Amino acid sequence: MAPFVLPALESVLPHIVLHHMSSALDGQRDCQITIMPSLFPLLNSVLTCPSPRGWKQWEEKRSGILVRKPKRTATTMERQKRSDSQNDNPFQVLTEELIFLILDFLETAPLDKKSFSLTCKAFYAAEARHRRALRPLRAEHLPALAARYPSVTDLDLSLCPRVGDGALALVAGAYAETLQRLDLSRSRWFTGSGLLNVGARCGSLVELDLSNATELRDAGVAAVARARNLRKLWLARCKLVTDMGIGCIAVGCRKLRLICLKWCVGIGDLGVDLVAIKCKELTSLDLSYLPITEKCLPSIFKLQLLEDLVLEGCFGIDDDSLDVDLLKHGCKTLKKLDISGCQNISHTGLSKLTGISGGLEKLILADGSPVTLGLVDGLNKLSMLQSIVLDGCPVTSEGLRAIGSLCISLRELSLSKCLGVTDEALSFLVSKHKDLRKLDITCCRKITDGSIASIANSCTGLTSLKMESCTLVPQQAFVLIGQKCHYLEELDLTDNEIDDEGLMSISSCSRLSSLKIGICLNITDRGLTYVGMFCSKLKELDLYRSTGVTDLGISAIAGGCPGLEILNTSYCTSITDRALISLSKCSNLKTLEIRGCILVTSIGLAAIAMNCRQLSRLDIKKCYDIDDSGMIPLAHFSQNLRQINLSYSSVTDVGLLSLASISCLQSFTMLHLQGLVPGGLAAALLACGGLTKVKLHLSLRSLLPELLIRHVEARGCVFEWRDKEFQAELDPKCWKLQLEDVMQ
């Protein structure tokens, strides 16, 4: 049994080890149960009861206690003694309120919470009453879950590909009084009948996500209108919903505060107008890519509580449609405005929009008009502006210098893929906005060490810096980042000239949780060793195609960063099983990409499987020496695995069938598996009942029975057929040169 939490007085908490637990484990073999020190402060504050009879021995032996081991046979006298022992069980003094406090404390540690609930029947029942959120993998599990967990308020069915009306009727019946949030964002097969059940019976429902319900029509949306208390509704990509359906929502759900209609291309001015008129409490409105014009704008700008307005990709709105008289009376509360991709709105239209609210805090202008002096002049009125996103916009030096001269204090600035960014303009900008916390200069290919020196010297409080593919920045510039920016938590240096000296300097940023140094051909194990020594909070590390890294560097990371959750070592061709064995110490590892690591075998993968039980995503494409012997440990230990890429490996039908025992498995990719035959593939597809997406080579399409494909699709799985030829791996330097040619 896994370690669990033993609530008791603080005086007896340290180092307690029980070798057996009363009748809850009666008949089981001896097991060791340890205490998590992180709970000491909590329990110290909530447990003040005096020691009952039987606790004196615990207080005398503060390091632990041995409970009498059960015998194989029990006489009447022994059973009576056991009953007396139960009466002295310290767990009995804990009230449900205290147990709930402990479970609250374990909310971020699901494995510990599960172990806690398995301690005894009382804890098992208490955990069921305490649980408020569920995220099942399949809809067929709902009857059992509804019977066990009666108090659920948040139900996430996004992992269930097929949710029918029957399942929704069950949900409505089981949680009619408690359900507040329901997520169906990736589910299909339900109709208006099922939604009517939920809307009519769940009176406490305040949030509903129906995104990606591409088959949902007006009748289904009209059923949602029965949920009178609904506050938040997501309908993204519900392309068959029209003005009539959204009109029913507007009339029935007048308490709405957030509605997302992104890519609902059947909704036009009339539907949006109805929503704005009827739902006067709206604070967030997403109209991305809707075919709307200026006709619906008057109603939108009369919303007195609107804070977040998204008009991304609304090509029907232009400068002429933004009438000054129309805008001057409403939306005084607007804090975030997104007009990304609205290329028909120039600096003239932007000036009109920004005149709506002087309290605007975030402005997103990505992929829009050029950033010129005229555009920036329209921002002078925004005294509260903290964040500007200009991704993909052509910029001029005058425009950037004008942003630097704004009488505001920017906290976030994104210039990703902006053509025209120069050292002089960027240096001036950052020198004026020294309170920047997040800066994105990805693919600003003209900047050099001058810009980096200005950033490091001026913006010492940066927590996030993204500068992928800034290829003109020399090696010595990265040393400055480590010397000056000690508060960095996120750093993306992908495809740069950083070397070990730069990594050594950056390792002084002890708060780093995400570090991306893929396609950095100058780094070696020496640089990674510094990162492992000083960046103990690291959770994500990307080493994609950084071919100077070997087992020693990975071992240093594994030893110094025990909380690592995401690792990408794809095409680091010097890595072997030793690296994976070292990584097996990182028990929190959730995503592992070792694509193209040709020296890795099933031995290393088995070590990962046995020790990294939270692994949910695995990519072993082009790991030619991983075969069925690596799949069997995965099937046995990696029960949280949801996505796997087996392409070009040596896995056969046997290994594929063994993976069917992983109930969480939802997606796998299998291209060019030489040992795979149609019969074995068919058996695996039938056995993996939770699949939602499968990528196969087109040549297998004609070899699988059509009836089988239809059956798997009816369970909610989507097939992607790829006609891709076998590709040999390129040398990393040749690959990078080809990439640079394409970019030029």
Residue in the block written with tokens 């997103």? 364
| Long-range CB pairs of 658-663, under 8 A, 24+ apart, other chains included | 658/628, 658/631, 658/632, 658/634, 659/631, 659/634, 659/635, 659/684, 659/688, 660/635, 660/684, 660/687, 660/688, 661/635, 661/636, 662/634, 662/635, 662/638, 663/137, 663/138, 663/639, 663/689, 663/690
Closest CA to 368 of 382, 387, 347: 347
The pLDDT of 283-303, averaged and rounded, is 93
pLDDT score at 28: 39
Residue 74, pLDDT > 90, answer no
One-letter amino acid of 379: L
Kindly indicate the confidence band of residue 1, based on its pLDDT and cuts at 50, 70 and 90: very low
Closest CA to 511 of 525, 492, 528, 491: 491
pLDDT score at 586: 96
Residue 71, pLDDT > 70, answer no
Four-point Cα dihedral 468, 472, 473, 476, nearest 10:
140
Tens-digit pLDDT profile for residues 669-688: 999 998 889 999 999 999 99
Least confident of 368-382, 411-425, 698-712, 718-732: 718-732
Terminal CA-CA length for the chain: 58
Contacts of 610 (CB under 8 A, 6+ apart): 584, 633, 637
Least confident of 320-324, 327-331, 466-470, 612-616: 327-331
Closest CA to 543 of 508, 487, 583, 484: 583
Residue 25, pLDDT > 60, answer no
pLDDT score at 11: 32
Identify whether the C-beta of residue 153 lies closer than 8 Å to the C-beta of residue 130: no
DSSP 3-state of 98? helix
Residue 398, pLDDT > 80, answer yes
Residue 512, pLDDT > 80, answer yes
Q: Please report which residue ranges of 397-448 form alpha helices under DSSP H.
A: 397-404, 423-432
The pLDDT of 449-474, averaged and rounded, is 96
The pLDDT of 216-232, averaged and rounded, is 95
Residue 542, pLDDT > 80, answer yes
Residue 401, pLDDT > 90, answer yes
Residue 20, pLDDT > 80, answer no
Closest CA to 467 of 535, 454, 293: 454
Please work out, in degrees rounded to the nearest 5, the angle formed at the alpha carbon of residue 662 by the alpha carbons of 658 and 665. 110
The pLDDT of 650-664, averaged and rounded, is 92
For the chain, give the percent of residues with pLDDT over 70: 84
Identify whether the C-beta of residue 67 lies closer than 8 Å to the C-beta of residue 19: yes
pLDDT score at 366: 96
Residue 213, pLDDT > 70, answer yes
pLDDT score at 42: 44
The pLDDT of 151-179, averaged and rounded, is 95
- Return the exposure string of 427-453: e unless at least 16 CB atoms fall within 10 Å of the residue's CB, then b: bbbbebbeebbbbbbbbbbebebebbb
The pLDDT of 644-666, averaged and rounded, is 93
pLDDT score at 387: 96
pLDDT score at 403: 94
The pLDDT of 577-582, averaged and rounded, is 97
Quote the CA–CA distance of 374 and 318 in Å, as a whole number: 17
pLDDT score at 526: 97
Residue 465, pLDDT > 90, answer yes
Residue 457, pLDDT > 70, answer yes
Contacts of 665 (CB under 8 A, 6+ apart): 641, 642, 643, 644, 659, 688, 690, 691
Kindly indicate the confidence band of residue 453, based on its pLDDT and cuts at 50, 70 and 90: very high
pLDDT score at 623: 97
Residue 400, pLDDT > 60, answer yes
Helix (H) or strand (E) holding 592: strand 591-593
Residue 13, pLDDT > 90, answer no
The pLDDT of 703-727, averaged and rounded, is 89
Kindly indicate the confidence band of residue 293, based on its pLDDT and cuts at 50, 70 and 90: very high
Residue 62, pLDDT > 60, answer no
Tens-digit pLDDT profile for residues 320-362: 878 766 666 667 889 999 999 998 888 888 888 877 777 899 9
Q: Which residues face 164 on adjacent strands?
A: none
Residue 407, pLDDT > 70, answer yes
Q: What is the mean pLDDT of the chain?
A: 86
Contacts of 595 (CB under 8 A, 6+ apart): 570, 571, 619, 620, 621, 622, 623, 645
Q: Is the Cα torsion angle 698, 704, 705, 711 positive or negative in sign?
A: negative
Would you give the DSSP letter of residue 29? P
Structure tokens that stand for 63 in this block: 């390091």
pLDDT score at 176: 96
pLDDT score at 121: 85
